[in-house]
Amino acid sequence: MNVKIRYFASMRDRMGRAEDSVTVEGDTLTIADLWKKVAPGQPLPTSTLIAVNMEYTDASQKLKNGDEVAFFPPVTGG
């Protein structure tokens, strides 16, 4: 399974890159599992917004081949 990942704003700074492309064996992968692969030992911040194919979701979402996952910091305004 191939998944593209995009990091925005402070998530990009935290990861040190704007995007990743991940290939994993099998067809059962959640966003939480994906995070463990791209940020080993780092918990997913609880306030992180997640989108799959431009639709907001949560870390329990199962992924399919070709999905695009985006991680956003919480949005604040002033």
Whole-number pLDDT of residue 27: 82
pLDDT number for residue 45: 87
Q: How far apart are CA 45 and CA 78, in angstroms?
A: 22
Q: pLDDT tens digits, the chain, 78 residues: what are they?
A: 999 999 999 899 989 999 999 998 888 899 999 999 999 999 998 889 999 999 999 999 999 999 999 999 887 655
| Per-residue pLDDT at 35 | 96
- Spatial distance between the Cα atoms of 27 and 9, rounded to a whole number of angstroms: 30
Domain 2-72: CATH architecture, name and number where available: Roll (3.10)
Strand segments, DSSP code E, in the chain are: 2-7, 19-23, 49-52, 55-57, 68-72
> Which pLDDT belongs to residue 74?
80
User: What residues does each domain of the chain span?
Assistant: 2-72
